[in-house]
Structure 1
Amino acid sequence: MKRLLAAAILASVTGASPLLAADLPKTAVNVVGNLSITTQSRNLEAPFWQEGVVKASNGAVTANFRPWNEMGLKGPEVFGFLGKGVMNIATAQLGHHSGAAPINDGNDLAGLSKTFDEFKAASVAFFPALSDYYRKELGLHLIALQSYQSQIMYCRDPISGLSDLKGKRIRSSGASQADFINHFGGSGVDVAFGEVQQALEQGVIDCAITGTLGGYTARWHESARHLYTLPINFGSGATVANAAWWDGLDPAVRSFLTEQIEALSEEMWALNRKENEIGINCNTQGPCPLGEPAGMTRVEPSEADFELRREALVNAVLPGWVARCGDVCKTAFNDHLAEVTGLTIQ
């Protein structure tokens, strides 16, 4: 499977025009990549930077690539270091950066999108708002947005729906997930990804939220035996450049990298759509192409849960987001997301 995915991404990035590749000046890029345990990092992003861009540019563009977790980082520091020029390009999860800049939650607020199609539409619509903010406020250039799998709940004890969250301590990622959990009487807890398994095992937390496949590969199922499959949100990722470095590139290199990274991001969207159900199957009864099914109990959301989900968005998540972010987020939502979501923030 890894070889097939790697071959697919190499094929997708080697379609650059020979004339364009021949005209590119020599360019070395320092890249910090996504969480290395994710398949989109291992099977798409790593081969893209280590082999794909080199081949597509006829050797003109080379990259020094390392995932952020292999650098000893926890996630929320990535864009801060990028703005200081520590690296040239980075891919990271926007939820990790919503504390410093709440606008990062905009296209993936908890409860906003029920499906990948809705999430993709929200991401496309919100891209200009994020791009403008990154340039003006952070000194960054937004290149592309990506998805993860749907963010679902892994729980130690039986759970039947959202009404069971009351009194539970739940590992969340980002303030909007915490607002969502708090609305139902639970408590959002900040736990680093690599520490979640131990926290579940020791009972420090009752549940934890992450992607359908990420939790399987991290073996959360060893302590959490109940998988509640309601998408809380989807986990938005972004590939971003230091704006000063980006602006100093040859225009042909900027065009080349934009085209290649946008193609990579589309591969990530497609992979996560495919792996979403694979992750659920691997955590539960299978089939699982990645290993033994974990045997967790699969808990499907009811129609009432989807209604409660929307209620939490309107009554807790959106007000909390605007309270943290102010008019900049309110205006960005109404200008870019009102049409695709059917909601307006008053």
Structure 2
Amino acid sequence: MRNGVLVFSLLAMFTVILAACGGSESEDTAAAKPEAAKPASASLTLEEAAAQRAGGPGSFYIGDLSQLVGPAPAPTLGDEDDMVNLAGLERERYLFDSPYYAALVKKANFTNPTELVYDGDPIEIQFTCINRTVAPCKLVDAVITENIKERTQGKLTLEITSFPELGLAGPDTLQLVRDGTIAFTEITSGYVAGDLPQLEITFLYGLFPDHEVEFKVNAAVQGDLDKLIQDDTNGGQVISRMWISGGDNFFFCRDKIETAADFKGKKVRSHGAALSDWIEAFGANAQFVAFAEVYTALERGILDCGVTVAFAAHGQRWYEVTDYMVGPLSSQLINTMVINANVLADLPEDIRQILVEEGARHELEAMRVTPAWNEVWTQRNVDAGLEYIEFTPDMKEIQANKAVPIHVLPNWIKRVGGPDTDIVRLFNEKIAPIVGLKINDDGTTTQIPITK
């Protein structure tokens, strides 16, 4: 009996020692295991993920637009109340019902997001906006910058700068990404048209009658344009796009523009070759001026008008040096966020994949917040003192019958090397069925049925 008690006591002591030394798993040890071993989100369905994120920044659509209603990610990025409202979402519903949007949701990887593995030194990448005072750059800062910092626990940070801060004008952006001078940047096709005019295929002003048609065109060719950018920048990658469904262009002028004849002889700031062709069709003189320099040029009378989107003009306070806001020239502004190939390749695999996922989520958030931007920023310019003048029927007729068929489209065809080029064949294959206009072998155009 005594021996049995002794054996039992020894066994009990041995068990305690094993537990203390880690020989068996205690409750505390089990609780200390990293959650990364079994991602909490791995068991989520897409519907559950959408429900969890509904009602504010980061929400996404899989059938219920009301889930996107809620606060914007930062002040001035939503409607007049800094909200995303259902009316704007319904107006641009084609965005959310598109195959492109569904592919973005898949790319964003909400149900099983990439886990952070990297535990080395923090990595900082500089991202260059066209101008940090305008809404798209503020959206980048509020969304992709903050989300990457949070998801990587500070292991990757994006440091925001801008063209003016770096002394850049914009036309050489692709070259600067190509040679590594810029690591990660915003690229607008109009700026780089001299370097890669093929990118203007989605910036042919006046060709697209409304936002939905322009979105269909953009969605149809984005993969092809990504490949063009990749080839031109020696492997640079498009990480995200700045979709702005509230991105119509307006003419901000010192003198009143009430008729098409009032444009004649006016010196007008343009931000791209195709836009210059549109301006020239109205008898005005198009001039490329760096965005940050337009205010001074208008103030001194070097320019009579400047063309840009409503939020950009307000961000640069053009209402202080002009009196009239004329338009709109329909445009669904889409700029790309391109990273240098070597910078991307040098990132750890998990960090790189998190960047890709957050790029997709940034696009989704841009689609959520920007539908209200035309209305809210137009009103803010009016509140600042501008008189808003809508294009007259005569102006619209000149756009349809002169600007597009005689100036914008033929001049673009010349810039890309003529009708017998891959980019024109791409136009006829993917864009012609959407806009109902085919480019012939001699460079002329023919109307065709709209089938897409």
What TM-score do you get using the length of structure 2 for normalisation?
0.67
The code of the aligned residue for 2:362 comes to: L
1:200 and 1:67, CA in 2 relative to 1: closer, same or farther beyond 3 A?
closer
Whether the aligned pair in 2 keeps the contact of 1:15 and 1:56 (CA below 8 Å) is: no
2:437 to 337, 343, 346: 343
Tell me the equivalent position of 1:294: 384
Q: Which runs of 5+ in 1 are unaligned?
A: 285-292
Deviates more, 1:27-36 or 1:164-173: 27-36
Indicate the structure (1 or 2) with the bigger Cα radius of gyration: 2
Matched, 1:246 2:344: yes
For structure 2, list consecutive stretches of 5 or more residues without a partner in the other structure: 1-56, 58-70, 79-104, 441-452
Residue in 1 that maps onto 2:115: 21
1:195, CA displacement in angstroms? 2.0
Report the equivalent of 1:290. Answer: none
Distance 2:156 2:250 in 1: 38
Deviation at 1:20, TM superposition (A): 2.0
Give the structure 2 partner of residue 143 of structure 1.
239
Q: CA deviation at 1:266?
A: 2.9
Q: How does 1:116-265 map to 2 (within 5 A)?
A: 116-139=211-234, 140-148=236-244, 149-231=247-329, 233-265=331-363
* 1:77-92 equivalence runs, <5 A: 77-92=172-187
Change (3 A) 1:19 1:105: closer
- 1:270/1:90 CA distance change after superposition, 3 Å: same
Paired position in structure 2 for 1:52:
147
Give, in whole Å, the separation in 2 of the partners of 1:339 and 1:25.
Answer: 50
Tell me if structure 1 keeps the 8 A contact 2:211–2:331: no
Structure 2 partner of 1:112: 207
Name the SS of the counterpart of 1:228 in structure 2.
strand
The answer to which of 219-228 and 317-326 deviates more is 219-228
CA distance in 2, matches of 1:113, 1:19: 37
Match of residue 426 from structure 2 = 332
Q: CA deviation at 1:127?
A: 0.5
- Distance apart, 1:214 and its partner CA: 1.3
For residues 422 and 367 of structure 2, what CA distance do their matches in structure 1 show? 28
Other-structure match for 1:288: none
Does structure 2 retain, via aligned residues, the 8 Å contact 1:54–1:61? yes
Match for residue 320 of structure 1 among 411, 415, 426: 411
Are the counterparts in 1 of residues 116 and 351 from structure 2 also a CA contact under 8 Å? no
1:90 maps to amino acid: T
Distance change >3 Å, CA 77–CA 25, structure 1 → 2? farther
The CA deviation at 1:345 is: 1.6
- Separation of aligned partners in 1, 2:379 and 2:196: 35
CA separation of 1:316/1:341 partners in 2, compared to 1, >3 Å: closer, same or farther? same
TM-score after normalising by structure 1:
0.86
Q: Specify whether residues 29 and 341 from structure 1 end up closer, same or farther in structure 2 by C-alpha distance, changes over 3 A only.
A: farther
Q: Residues 337 and 129 of structure 1: is their aligned pair in 2 closer, same or farther, counting only changes over 3 Å?
A: same
Percent identity for Structure 1 against Structure 2? 24
Alignment of 1:54-69 (within 5 A): 54-69=149-164
On the 8 A contact 1:166/1:186 being kept in 2, the answer is yes
The answer (yes or no) to whether the contact 1:116–1:273 under 8 Å persists in 2 is no
Secondary structure of residue in 2 paired with 1:23:
coil
Task: Provide, for residues 270-294 of structure 1, a one-character-per-residue CA deviation record: whole Å limited to 9, x for no partner.
Answer: 433212111111122xxxxxxxx12
Match of 1:276 among 374, 384, 390: 374
SS at match of 1:240: strand
Residue 169 of structure 2 corresponds to 74
Q: CA deviation at 1:237?
A: 0.8
* Per-residue deviation, 1:210: 0.7
Tell me whether 151-160 or 52-61 shows the greater mean CA deviation: 52-61
Cα 1:314–1:29 change in 2 (3 A) is farther
Q: What is the deviation of 1:170?
A: 0.7
Q: What secondary structure sits across from 1:64 in the alignment?
A: strand
- For 1:94, the equivalent position in structure 2 comes to 189
Structure 1 residues 145-189: Cα deviation after superposition (integer angstroms, max 9, x where no partner): 324421110111111243432221111111001111111211101
Contact 1:32-1:68 at 8 Å conserved across structures = no
Query: 2:35 aligns to what?
Result: none
1:5 aligned partner? 73
The 2-side partners of 1:299 and 1:210 are apart by 15
- Residue type of the partner of 1:308? I
CA contact 1:146–1:266 (8 Å) conserved in 2: no
Higher relative contact order (CA 8 A, sep 6+): 1
- The residue type equivalent to 1:98 in the other structure is A
Higher helix share: 1
Change in 2 beyond 3 A, CA 1:147/1:19: closer
Quick one: distance in 2 between partners of 1:126 and 1:161? 36
